[in-house]
Structure formats: C-alpha cells, structure tokens
Structure 1
Amino acid sequence: MKLSVYLAGQIHDNWREEIKNLAQQMDLPIEFTGPMENHERSDNIGEEILGKQQDAIAKDEAASSINNLRTQILLQKADVVIALFGEQYRQWNSAMDAATAIALHKPLILVRPASLHHPLKELANKAQVVCETPEQALKALAYVFEN
C-alpha cells in the first residue's frame, strides 16, 4: 500500500522537503503533493493562462481560480492531508485546505505549536490527529503501515 499525502501550508520555507526527507529515512511508502511552491508562478498563473487582467484584484482572482482548481483535484486524490501551521506566516490557505479536507472527509493531521491551540481549536477538533511537529505526523502515518 502507498499513501498519497497532501501537504497543506505556507510555501515560504522548506518544511515540505524536511517532511519528504524524513519519510524517506523512515522508509514510508508515501507520495506527496501540495500547493504550487513557486510563489511567483502561483501569483501569475491566472494571467499566464487567461491573459492580462485589468488590475491587481482581477489578477488575483484569475490566479485563485487556477490555483483552486489544482488544489481541489490534488486534495480529492489525497488519502490524507497534513496541514502545518507555524508562528511566522499568516496561513489562510492552510486553514482553507484543512477545512476542504474535512469537507471531503479526508483524514487530517494538524501540525501546530501549542501557542496556536486557541486560534486553531475548531480545526483541531475536526482533525484525526493534532501534533506539534512534522516528525510526530509521520510517526502517526508510520503506525498505519504496522501489521
């Protein structure tokens, strides 16, 4: 068995690479997907596909439609979603992806520091697992593969 795991969260650092490397070290049969990590491409994809937009709001709307298409497809194909929240960045996309996973009845692992307990309490209540580190999230997935 191989799991498809969607990694929801901010795209401003390398946390996804850390998870992928850790999963490889743990020899877990996992295929990872996630949002477009190239921030410039994500911001410009609407104009690349739909053409020049009349203003910044229209440009954002066009990009959002294409990014949402991509996200919806990948979330629907995922077996499980890991949503990471940290202290440094505002993470509305992470919250949206986590809520979408819940709506799609996808198992959700919520990774967040204890300091974010209160603002994420409703999402945490709907998640299957709430933990504080990516390593804990992968250990939870490793348990799925045990006989």
Structure 2
Amino acid sequence: MELTVYLAGEIHSSWRDEVKSLVKEKNLPLTFVSPQTEHDLSDDIGEKVLGEQPSKYYRDDAASSINNLRTQVLMNKADIVIALFGEEYKQWNTAMDATTAINLGKPLILVRPEKLIHPLKEISQKANVVTASVEQAMEVIEYIYQ
C-alpha cells in the first residue's frame, strides 16, 4: 500500500530531504507532495500566469490564489500530512496548512520543538500525533506498515 504524504512546513531548510532519506533507508512506499518550495516561483506565479499586477498587494493576492489552489489539490490527494514547525522562520504557512489538514480530516503529524509547545498548544491538541523530530514522525508512519 503506497501512501501520499503532504510535507507542510518552512521551505528554507533541507528537512524534506531528511524525510526522504529516512524513507529510503526504511524502504517505505511513500510518495511526497508539498507546498511550492521554490520561493521565487511561489512569489512570482501570480504575475507569471495573470500578468503584471498594479501593486505589491495585488501581486501577493494573485500569487496566493494560485498557491492556495495548488495546496488544496495536493492536500486533498494526501493520505497523511506532516507539518513541521521549525525554530528559525515564521510559521504562518505551516499553521495554515496544519489547520487545513485538520479541517479536511486528514491524519496530521505535527513536528515541533520543545520551545514551541506553548504557542502551538491548540494545533498540537488537534493533531493526531505530535513529535519532537522528523525521525519520530517517520517512526509513526513506519508503524502503519508493521
């Protein structure tokens, strides 16, 4: 049985590569989807598709509508969502994706460091599983196959 996993979370580190490496080591039948991880493309897609916008507000609005459509399609196809909250970057998109997963009834594994326990207490309570590391999240998924 192959599962599709949506990897929600910040795009500026290599955590997704770490997940894929662990999956390869464990030989798990998983396919991955995620938000657009090419930052410039994510910011530019609205004008790339719809043409130049009159201001930064409309530029962001155009890009957001296309990025949100992409996220909705891919998350709807996912069997599981892993939402990683890192320590370095603001996590608005991760919070939005985790909440979307909860609202869609998607199984959600939340990965968050100890220092974010308090700020993420409500989302953590709604997640199916909360882990402190990507390794623990992968152990949870591995358990599905045991």
**Range into which the TM-score falls when normalised by the shorter chain:** over 0.9
User: Matches of 2:86 and 2:39 in 1, distance apart?
Assistant: 18
Which aligned segments of 4 or more residues in structure 1 are displaced greater than 2 angstroms?
none
User: How many residue pairs align between the two structures?
Assistant: 146
Aligned identity (percent) is: 58
Q: Which runs of 5+ in 2 are unaligned?
A: none
Question: 1:26 aligns to what?
Answer: 26
User: Matches of 1:71 and 1:19 in 2, distance apart?
Assistant: 19
User: Matches of 2:39 and 2:13 in 1, distance apart?
Assistant: 11
User: Matches of 1:142 and 1:56 in 2, distance apart?
Assistant: 44
Question: 2:38 aligns to what?
Answer: 38
The 5 A counterparts of 1:67-78 are 67-78=67-78
Tell me, what secondary structure is at the counterpart of 2:81?
strand
* Shift in Å, 1:13: 1.2
Report the residue type matching 2:38 in the other structure: N
Q: Which runs of 5+ in 1 are unaligned?
A: none
User: Matches of 1:44 and 1:137 in 2, distance apart?
Assistant: 32
Question: 1:56 aligns to what?
Answer: 56
User: Matches of 1:16 and 1:109 in 2, distance apart?
Assistant: 14
User: Matches of 2:32 and 2:102 in 1, distance apart?
Assistant: 18
The TM-score with structure 2 as length reference comes to: 0.99
Structure 1 position 86 matched with structure 2 position 86: yes
Question: 1:99 aligns to what?
Answer: 99
User: Matches of 1:23 and 1:121 in 2, distance apart?
Assistant: 28
* Shift in Å, 1:59: 0.2
The TM-score with structure 1 as length reference comes to: 0.98
